[in-house]
DNA sequence: TGCAATCCCGGTAACGTTACCGGTAACGCT
DNA sequence: AGCGTTACCGGTAACGTTACCGGGATTGCA
């Protein structure tokens, strides 16, 4: 009653061999129906639970997935929920590790999980990470890796991402259509792919609307509210200040909003603002901030599905790159002209 | 080069026994300095990583902690970060599972992790859970369990929690001191301990300020924004409507705020509002909402420390209950009288 | 020189499980 | 009677690791 029961215990009590017990429990054909019943009954009675460790050791797979994320903010937590959903269904358990946007922490976490704890990884890279040796090490061990949200071009692995370029395009196009003439962008660190893609969309939209990109209006700053606040202050202090700002994240949009309010400028009249992620907060502030929504939950699910597929088919899916479409939600912060059809939520 | 190296490989290449290799790798005294060096060198060269599975199987512990949370909102994600911090330091890896506030999901997750995947649990229970058999099963296996945030009185296990009564008291006292006379409370489901404690603090404060509790002003509703919105609408439709509302969470405070604004009432003049959790959002909305802050990160760290202690000392800490103090942050939504000393942030 | 202590090492069992091989009995068929 | 087939079961090795026991060789001391 103290130690958990094993197949040995069952075998001993039933006076049969452990091999037979093992077979009986696994529904292999070569076992008498009576003995099987007896085994099953006793297993139930002893509340036998197969030892996952022994199993994993034997067949060299753990049925665990290592998920590494830079943090657990709204968007990523939602994605993780999506991953969890699919993984559980497929018989996998996920191990979530936060790198806290720290390169060192990311390496430690990876090493940890690599120690025969997981069968593979689903990864969203930290913004600090510029070298990917620790991820390549995973692939050397022939472990499947799926990237999500923030992809790594250098890494030969499948990935799921948002069409960030389209998102940047939608946001900027909307601002242009609303009559804004000097549209600034608050982007993230230069090594961050998602940031660069969104900026590319921004540039494309400018081109389409025949606006000349102005380097002074394209700011790179850290991915948080505080830096966006400062950057916005500087933008607004220019002699030819921008009349609209597109920020690469909602956190940054909030920072920008605070700076704008402090300066006494009104949205959307004096200045337009569009964020990215569509976190719940943006519809609660005044004025409500327009934002590009990403299907985070679905993105997580897709990543997990891709992982499962890679494991099952054991095929090379390294060239697969699923792209999901974002959708702009227009709110007061950028709406100067009455919309053709109603939206927001 | 394909399969990961084992101590067998090292032993074979060095023409010594696996026992010696094992000893050398583990710094046990009984091994020649030369052989040790050789072993270490070869281990390095083959990039040998000890197989955690085999180790766990052998010594019957995994050095994993199962963390079960109802969701990953701001507060819980912060707590998990705290747990992670301490656990990593102590050589443990955490497995986070979300129950999505679902009883069934909680059971599934627990069973999963129970299958010899973890050494014990750090748990915050789902709001749906009313029966705790699945947690008692853990204890039957002699596994350590630490509860955090939402405790279970029925369970003989150590826990870390907020002084929710004090939090409720602080919030209500503040409203009373601001001159509000009819203070309502939006509480959570009746089976949720943290909600009841906060309400008790509310009642204590009322008593202290000689205000009679009015059942019509004490609403139980589900833990989210939508229900709080509806409940607030009903409150405001009363003939003798409340002039202040204390909500048990910030989500609910947001819901209440929307209903208040819609009704055309002003905060803090017409009605006062205080939330709970001090999520970033409350300082961003207009007016900024007063809220009771909880030291979520510290609370998580403390929970993990308690866990580690339980494992190491192997002593019965089931009666330990650490209580952390909350702190009210006063903002515009409830500030009618100039404060004696500056605060907010 | 003899004996014990010390240093270092190897063999084996065990953790719980499954894969593989082999074996026994019963049966049916020619 | 002899043979092959089927149905069922047991023994053993193996996954990678450590704990334990039992050595042999070398050293120290009397």
Whole-angstrom Cα distance, residue B283 to residue B290? Answer: 8
A6's enclosing H/E stretch is none
Whole-angstrom Cα distance, residue B6 to residue B26? Answer: 14
Whole-angstrom Cα distance, residue A81 to residue A64? Answer: 15
Confirm whether any atom of chain C, the nucleic acid strand, is less than 7 Å from CB of A57: yes
**What are the two backbone dihedrals, phi and then psi, of residue B327, each rounded to the nearest 5 degrees?**
-145, 125
3-state class of A157 per DSSP?
Answer: coil
A139's enclosing H/E stretch is helix A133-140
The pLDDT of residue B342 is 45
Contact assignment for A285 to B285 by CB distance below 8 Å: yes
**What are the two backbone dihedrals, phi and then psi, of residue A94, each rounded to the nearest 5 degrees?**
-100, 145
Whole-angstrom Cα distance, residue B171 to residue B162? Answer: 14
A127 to chain B nearest CA, in Å?
18
Q: Is A131 exposed, middle or buried (0-12, 13-18, 19+ CB in 10 A)?
A: exposed
Determine if the peptide bond prior to A287 is cis (ω within 30°): yes
Whole-angstrom Cα distance, residue A298 to residue A311? Answer: 20
The CB density around residue A338, as the number of other CB atoms within 10 Å, is 6
DSSP for B242-293 reads -SEEEESSHHHHHHHHHHHHHTT--TTTT-EEEEEE--GGGGTSSSPPEEEE
User: Which nucleotide, over all strands, has the C1' atom closest to the CA of B23?
Assistant: D18
Contact assignment for B113 to A98 by CB distance below 8 Å: no
Q: Which residues of B113-142 are buried (b: 16+ CB within 10 A; e: fewer)?
A: bbbbbbbbbbbbbbbbbeebebbeebbeee
Contacts of A285 in chain B (CB under 8 A): 284-286
B84's enclosing H/E stretch is helix B74-89
B143 to chain A nearest CA, in Å?
12
Q: What token pair was written down for A112?
A: 């940890």
> Can you give the length of chain A in residues?
345
The pLDDT of residue A80 is 95
Residue A93 contacts B, CB cutoff 8 Å: yes
**What are the two backbone dihedrals, phi and then psi, of residue B182, each rounded to the nearest 5 degrees?**
-115, 95
Average pLDDT of the segment spanning B81-93: 93
DSSP for A278-334 reads --GGGGTSSSPPEEEE--HHHHHHHHHHHHHHHHHH----TT-EEEEPPEEE--GGG
**Measured in angstroms, what separates residue B118's CA from nucleotide C6's C1'?**
42
**Measured in angstroms, what separates residue B62's CA from nucleotide C5's C1'?**
40
Give the pairing type, strands B290-293 and B327-329. antiparallel
Whole-angstrom Cα distance, residue A214 to residue B146? Answer: 56
The pLDDT of residue A307 is 95
Residue B90 contacts A, CB cutoff 8 Å: no
Residue A115 contacts B, CB cutoff 8 Å: yes
Of A56, A72, A286, the CB nearest to B286: A286
Average confidence score pLDDT of chain B: 91
* First vs last C-alpha separation in chain A: 57
Whole-angstrom Cα distance, residue B91 to residue B94? Answer: 10
Confirm whether any atom of chain C, the nucleic acid strand, is less than 7 Å from CB of B32: yes
pTM of the model: 0.88
B284 to chain A nearest CA, in Å?
6
Which nucleotides in chain C lie less than 7 Å from some protein C-beta?
7-12, 14-20
Whole-angstrom Cα distance, residue A345 to residue B204? Answer: 40
The pLDDT of residue B343 is 46
Name the residue with tokens 């946001």.
A171
Contacts of B285 in chain A (CB under 8 A): 284-286
Nearest to B121 by CA among B142, B100, B90, B91: B142
Identify the band that residue B4 occupies on the pLDDT scale cut at 50, 70 and 90.
Answer: confident
The pLDDT of residue B2 is 63
CB A241 within 8 A of CB A212: no
Average pLDDT of the segment spanning B82-106: 90
Please check the confidence at residue B256 and state whether its pLDDT lies above 90.
yes
Tell me the C-alpha to C-alpha distance, in Å, between residue A184 and each of A24, A163, A219, A220, A246. Answer: 68, 21, 8, 11, 6
The pLDDT of residue B345 is 42
Please check the confidence at residue B173 and state whether its pLDDT lies above 90.
yes
pLDDT tens-place string over residues B43-64: 999 999 999 999 999 999 999 9
Whole-angstrom Cα distance, residue A127 to residue A150? Answer: 9
Nearest to B281 by CA among B300, B301, B255: B255
Q: Residue B146 forms beta bridges with which residues?
A: B122
- Which percentage of chain B shows pLDDT scores above 90? 69
The pLDDT of residue B269 is 95
**Measured in angstroms, what separates residue A63's CA from nucleotide C15's C1'?**
20
Chain A, chain B: beta-carbon pairs less than 8 Å apart? 99
Q: What token pair was written down for B210?
A: 């000689």
Nearest to A183 by CA among A142, A139, A216, A150: A216
Whole-angstrom Cα distance, residue A214 to residue A211? Answer: 9
Of A81, A114, A142, the CB nearest to B98: A81
DSSP letter at A70 equals S
Residue B226 contacts A, CB cutoff 8 Å: no
Give the chain B residue nearest A72 (alpha carbons).
B77
The CB density around residue B219, as the number of other CB atoms within 10 Å, is 21
Tell me the C-alpha to C-alpha distance, in Å, between residue A18 and each of A21, A37, A38, A186, B316. Answer: 5, 15, 14, 65, 37
Angle separating helix axes A296-313 and A74-89, nearest 10 degrees: 40
The pLDDT of residue A112 is 87
Of A93, A141, A284, the CB nearest to B254: A284
Contacts of B81 in chain A (CB under 8 A): 72, 98, 100
CB A84 within 8 A of CB A94: yes
Whole-angstrom Cα distance, residue B181 to residue B316? Answer: 47
Give the pairing type, strands A183-187 and A244-247. parallel
A284 to chain B nearest CA, in Å?
6
| Largest distance between two CA atoms of chain A | 91
Mutation target to probe the A interface, by most A beta carbons within 10 A, among B46, B57, B111 is B57
Name the residue with tokens 């050791």.
A57
Residue B96 contacts A, CB cutoff 8 Å: yes
Confirm whether any atom of chain C, the nucleic acid strand, is less than 7 Å from CB of B30: yes
DSSP for A162-195 reads E-HHHHHHHHHHHHHHTT--SEEEEE--TT-HHH
Whole-angstrom Cα distance, residue B244 to residue A158? Answer: 54
The pLDDT of residue A127 is 74
Task: Rank A39-53, B198-212, B330-344 by mean pLDDT and report only the highest.
Answer: B198-212
pLDDT per residue as tens, chain A (345 positions): 467 889 999 999 999 999 999 999 988 888 889 899 999 999 999 999 999 999 999 999 999 999 999 989 899 999 999 999 999 999 999 999 988 888 888 998 898 898 888 999 999 988 777 788 888 888 888 889 999 998 888 888 999 999 999 999 999 999 999 999 999 999 998 888 899 999 999 999 999 999 999 999 999 998 788 899 999 999 999 999 999 999 999 999 999 999 999 999 999 999 999 999 999 889 888 899 999 999 999 999 999 999 999 988 767 777 889 999 999 999 999 998 876 554 444
Whole-angstrom Cα distance, residue A337 to residue A317? Answer: 46
A304 to chain B nearest CA, in Å?
15
Angle separating helix axes A33-45 and A18-25, nearest 10 degrees: 90
Contact assignment for A56 to B54 by CB distance below 8 Å: no
């Amino acid at each position: 009653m103290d130690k958990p029961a094993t197949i040995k215990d069952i075998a001993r009590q039933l006076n049969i061999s452990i091999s037979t017990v093992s077979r009986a429990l696994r529904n292999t054909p070569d076992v008498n129906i009576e003995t099987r019943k007896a085994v099953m009954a006793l297993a139930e009675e002893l509340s036998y639970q197969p030892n996952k460790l022994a199993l994993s050791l034997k067949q060299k797979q753990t049925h665990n997935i290592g998920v590494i994320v830079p943090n657990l903010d709204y968007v990523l937590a939602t994605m993780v929920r999506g991953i969890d959903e699919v993984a559980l269904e497929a018989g996998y358990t996920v191990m979530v590790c936060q790198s806290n946007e720290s390169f060192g922490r990311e390496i430690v976490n990876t090493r940890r999980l690599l120690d025969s704890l997981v069968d593979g990884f689903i990864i969203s890279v930290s913004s600090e990470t510029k070298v990917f040796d620790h991820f390549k090490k995973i692939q050397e061990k022939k472990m499947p890796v799926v990237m999500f949200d923030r992809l790594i071009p250098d890494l030969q692995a499948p990935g799921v991402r948002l069409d960030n370029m389209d998102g940047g395009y939608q946001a900027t196009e909307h601002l242009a259509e609303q009559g804004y003439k000097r549209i600034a962008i608050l982007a993230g660190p230069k090594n961050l792919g998602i940031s660069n893609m969104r900026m590319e969309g921004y540039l494309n939209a400018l081109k389409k609307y025949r606006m000349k990109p102005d380097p002074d209006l394209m700011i790179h700053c850290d991915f948080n509210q505080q830096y966006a606040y400062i950057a916005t202050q500087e933008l607004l202090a220019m002699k030819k200040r921008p009349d609209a700002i597109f920020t690469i994240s909602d956190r940054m949009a909030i920072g920008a909003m605070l700076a704008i309010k402090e300066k006494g400028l009104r949205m959307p009249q004096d200045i337009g603002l569009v964020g990215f992620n569509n976190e719940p907060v943006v519809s609660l502030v005044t004025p409500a901030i327009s934002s590009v929504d990403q299907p985070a939950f679905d993105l997580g699910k897709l990543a997990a599905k891709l992982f499962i597929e890679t494991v099952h088919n054991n095929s090379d899916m390294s060239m697969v790159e699923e792209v999901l479409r974002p959708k702009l939600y227009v709110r007061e912060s950028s709406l100067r002209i009455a919309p053709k059809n109603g939206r927001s939520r």
